[in-house]
Amino acid sequence: MHFCICRGGADPVEEIVTQAKKGSTLAWDWWIVRRMTRALFVLFLSVNFVLVGCGPRGFITLLPTAKSDLDEAAIQTVFIATDRRIEGSGPDGLIEQGFGEARDPQLRFGRIDISVPPVHVPGQIEWPGNRPPDPALHFVAREGTRYVNEHAFFRDIPRGDTGTVVLFVHGFNVNNAEAIYRLAQIAHDYKTETPVVSFSWPSAGDARGYVYDRDSVIFARDDLETLLLGLARDGRKTVILAHSMGGQLVMETLRQMSISGKGNALKPIAGVALISPDIDEDVFLRQAKRISPFPQPFMLMVSKRDKALGLAALITGKPSRLGSIEDPSRLEGLPIEIIDLSDIEGGDRAGHSTAFTAPAAIRLLQDLGPT
């Protein structure tokens, strides 16, 4: 796929001549910087398209519960909290991809049962794509529910023996269906027996939406806080898994809660794992120092082979991001465990989702969190 950016206005040469006539000695430098900035931006978008692929995006496929083939599939229930705006209509808007990239000030709640096919390969999501959905071959939705309020939502989440839930916060360039199906795949592959909750924040679901997604992280902080406060009031212990830009959202929210006098709500957090976090190292250090109590255990899963974070570093002008940290000694003094996945083979070709797409990493990390 080719992508170009065109802008109207004066010809670049004419602009240089104009600057020169005004006596500017920086005309050529100004033109070079302008051209290099545009070239880097186009390069970022082009490589990003290559990394994420140009195929169809994830879409929730609902099959009737009467399908006998579903009896052979494993069922994974995913609870959902989202501040994406409803774009679909009708009572099944959640199931029919009703939540898009637009931001909604109202936090909404739902549940969806995903069937995992018997031929499932660890680390993969077997999407139907353009083929007829087949529960023997594909991930499909079996049933979905929207809750009228958060009380009904929390009441429906099973407590189990420990009252623990696993909360997943997705990353950059993820639509609602992909966030839900990915958590179903993670929970299934890691054999998680505790309830799982997806916080589906309004990512653009577009490789060109990096800046939009960073702004959406800021927008979503209050809603993630609302969810964490609700889980704490409900007597839940929460294990947080955050991927990529979702790590920025988690750190911002925990910091916000700590400095606003809501630190007690952090005590039920039973662990945090930031997977390939797309966070500036300096920013992370400042965030971490303001979070009290600091959740334990706290893990960073990093990789020097992460191409996506390499691109993020390029556009931010820094040599690396937290998820590809080159000098772990900078984090000394923080109660953090760093797990380096650089030598793990397999998984996504960008090396950005190794922790849950590489079978070897899944086997290595299977003891992470409650099971």
Q: Is residue 150 part of a domain?
A: yes
Counting residues of the chain whose pLDDT is more than 70, the rounded percentage is 78
Least-confidence region, from 46-60, 148-162, 263-277, 310-324: 46-60
Q: Is residue 209 part of a domain?
A: yes
Q: Is residue 96 part of a domain?
A: yes
Residues 35 and 72 in one domain: no
Q: What pTM was computed for the model?
A: 0.84
Residues 297 and 327 in one domain: yes
- For position 70, what pLDDT does the model report? 56
Residues 322 and 350 in one domain: yes
CB 364 within 8 A of CB 189: no
Q: Is residue 62 part of a domain?
A: no
Residue 19 pLDDT greater than 60, yes or no: no
CB 157 within 8 A of CB 188: no
Q: Average pLDDT in the 334-360 region?
A: 93
Task: Provide the residue range defining the domain that includes 46.
Answer: 12-52
Residues 242 and 286 in one domain: yes
Q: Is residue 305 part of a domain?
A: yes
Residues 289 and 240 in one domain: yes
Residues 275 and 210 in one domain: yes
For 256-292, b/e burial (b = at least 16 CB within 10 A) is: bbbeeeeeebbebbbbbbbbbbbbbbeebeebbeebe
Q: Tell me: the pLDDT tens digits for 199-216?
A: 999 999 999 999 999 999
- DSSP state string for 7-61: --SS-HHHHHHHHHHTT-TTHHHHHHHHHHHHHHHHHHHHHHHHHH-SSPPP---
Residue 315 pLDDT greater than 50, yes or no: yes
Residues 41 and 151 in one domain: no
Residues 137 and 266 in one domain: yes
Beta bridge partners of 103: 84
Residue 91 pLDDT greater than 50, yes or no: no
State the total domains in the chain. 2
Residues 40 and 115 in one domain: no
Q: Is residue 7 part of a domain?
A: no
Residues 40 and 145 in one domain: no
CATH number at residue 146: 3.40.50.1820
Residues 282 and 172 in one domain: yes
Residues 48 and 132 in one domain: no
Q: Is residue 205 part of a domain?
A: yes
Q: Is residue 316 part of a domain?
A: yes
Crossing angle for the helix pair 210-233 and 245-259, nearest 10 degrees? 50
Average pLDDT of the chain is: 84
